[in-house]
């Protein structure tokens, strides 16, 4: 989903801005023909990354004027720690990721990286500090090498190979017809979901950002692929501030904090064991997942993507 939402509903954000600034409806329609972008404040400085803490302070947000999507969301992720966002579909998990990347501006409240409001600094500098591993990675119609190097264009060959090794995709690349020069993407070799995700991981390892955002794939991967990806993800998250949108709770048992998001509000937060003991929403989700996993095993296997 990370690629899809950029051009989507810009209307809502813009509409609110216009509502504030214009009374004249005719003006509004003129302006709507121009695609709005999030703009840097004049003379905005670059974000200065020290340790990479991330904070949401009483954030409210809506895409459309008629419906509030995030309601007074607050959390703090200390440098190097991991926050997992879980909860029912539509709860607002991906929206949090989008706001942090500043695809949209908040309606109220503040988003701070190392104490600096993302609205007050250059957008480019925010994006440079953050690595994203999306659910579905779209590859460029170019070589696999290019697709990894995109994380850091100046990276030497040795670093690209090392990133691929850490992402557990190196061996696979060597098996391609032209190894690192193999053309991939729509017009080249098609990679599986798990392979594409590992390319995204390699790219992010190469980028070496202070903050990592992971949007976990909802599709089931086979157990071995899953394990390989988990190992690669663990490497990309090590010592980096991480926010993970989790669909399978088994992957976030060790998260420093889990926040349950429901209808745009954080309804529970804590570590896995605490939330299980609490016996609330999270505990129910966990029970459900255990039942689903058991049912999956009885059916024989989980579908493979590889």
168: left (phi over 0), alpha (psi -120 to 50) or beta: left
In whole angstroms, the minimum distance from the beta carbon of 1 to ligand ATP comes to 7
| Cα 221 to Cα 213: distance, rounded to the nearest angstrom | 20
| Cα 268 to Cα 276: distance, rounded to the nearest angstrom | 11
Position with the least CB separation from ligand ATP: 9
Q: Does 83 bind ligand ATP (CB under 6 A)?
A: no
Q: Does 75 bind ligand ATP (CB under 6 A)?
A: no
Among 53, 94, 149, 225, binds ligand ATP (CB under 6 A): 94
Q: Does 279 bind ligand ATP (CB under 6 A)?
A: no
Beta strands in 134-264 (DSSP E): 211-215, 241-245, 257-262
| Cα 95 to Cα 165: distance, rounded to the nearest angstrom | 32
| Cα 15 to Cα 1: distance, rounded to the nearest angstrom | 23
Q: In degrees to the nearest 10, what's the CA dihedral of 250, 252, 258, 262?
A: -50
| Burial letters 160-179, b for 16+ CB under 10 A, else e | bbbbbbbbbbbebbeebeee
Q: Does 221 bind ligand ATP (CB under 6 A)?
A: no
In whole angstroms, the minimum distance from the beta carbon of 83 to ligand ATP comes to 14
Tokens matching residue 119: 């609205």
In whole angstroms, the minimum distance from the beta carbon of 70 to ligand ATP comes to 8
In whole angstroms, the minimum distance from the beta carbon of 19 to ligand ATP comes to 16
In whole angstroms, the minimum distance from the beta carbon of 15 to ligand ATP comes to 11
Beta strands in 39-138 (DSSP E): 54-61, 70-77, 82-86, 108-113, 116-117, 130-133
Q: Are 107 and 14 in contact (CB under 8 A)?
A: no
Q: Which is nearer to ligand ATP, 5 or 140 (CB)?
A: 5
In whole angstroms, the minimum distance from the beta carbon of 74 to ligand ATP comes to 17
In whole angstroms, the minimum distance from the beta carbon of 93 to ligand ATP comes to 4
CA-based nearest residue to 206, from 232, 227, 236: 236
In whole angstroms, the minimum distance from the beta carbon of 146 to ligand ATP comes to 29
Among 33, 89, 154, 175, binds ligand ATP (CB under 6 A): 89
Among 15, 56, 63, 282, binds ligand ATP (CB under 6 A): 63
Q: Does 5 bind ligand ATP (CB under 6 A)?
A: yes
Q: Which is nearer to ligand ATP, 91 or 134 (CB)?
A: 91
Q: Does 15 bind ligand ATP (CB under 6 A)?
A: no
Among 53, 95, 183, 197, binds ligand ATP (CB under 6 A): 95
Q: Which part of the chain contacts ligand ATP (CB under 6 A), choosing from 18-26, 45-53, 87-95, 110-118?
A: 87-95
How many residues sit close enough to ligand ATP to count as binding (CB under 6 A)? 13
Q: Does 140 bind ligand ATP (CB under 6 A)?
A: no
Q: Are 110 and 57 in contact (CB under 8 A)?
A: yes
Contacts of residue 84, defined as CB under 8 A and 6 or more positions apart, other chains included, come to 243, 244, 245, 246, 252, 255, 257, 258, 259
User: Which residues are near ligand ATP by CB under 6 A?
Assistant: 5, 8-9, 63-64, 69, 89-95
């Amino acid at each position: 989903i990370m690629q899809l939402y950029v051009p989507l509903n810009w209307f809502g954000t813009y509409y609110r801005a216009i509502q504030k600034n214009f009374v004249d409806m005719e003006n509004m329609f003129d302006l709507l023909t121009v695609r709005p972008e999030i703009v840097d404040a004049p003379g905005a400085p670059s974000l200065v990354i020290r340790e990479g803490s991330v904070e949401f302070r009483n954030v409210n947000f809506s895409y459309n004027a008629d419906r509030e999507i995030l309601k007074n969301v607050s959390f703090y992720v200390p440098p190097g720690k991991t926050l997992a966002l879980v909860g029912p579909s539509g709860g607002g998990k991906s929206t949090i990721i989008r706001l942090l990347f500043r695809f949209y501006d908040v309606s109220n409240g503040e988003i701070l990286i190392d104490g600096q409001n993302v609205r007050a600094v250059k957008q480019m500098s925010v994006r440079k500090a953050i690595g994203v591993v999306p659910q579905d990675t779209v590859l460029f119609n170019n070589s696999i090498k290019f697709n990894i190097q995109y994380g850091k264009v100046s990276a030497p060959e040795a670093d690209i190979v090392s990133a691929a090794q850490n992402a557990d995709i190196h061996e696979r690349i060597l098996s391609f017809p032209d190894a690192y020069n193999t053309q991939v993407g729509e017009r080249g070799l098609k990679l599986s979901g798990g392979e594409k995700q590992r390319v995204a991981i390699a790219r992010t390892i190469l980028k070496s950002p202070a903050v990592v955002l992971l949007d976990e794939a909802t599709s089931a991967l086979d157990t071995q692929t899953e394990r390989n990806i988990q190992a690669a993800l663990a490497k990309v998250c090590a010592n980096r501030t991480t926010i993970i949108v989790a669909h399978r709770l088994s992957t976030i048992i060790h998260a420093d904090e889990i926040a349950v998001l429901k209808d745009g509000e954080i309804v529970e937060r804590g570590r896995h064991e605490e939330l299980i003991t609490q016996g609330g929403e999270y505990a129910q989700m966990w029970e459900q997942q255990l039942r689903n996993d058991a049912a999956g095993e009885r059916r024989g296997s989980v579908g493979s993507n590889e």
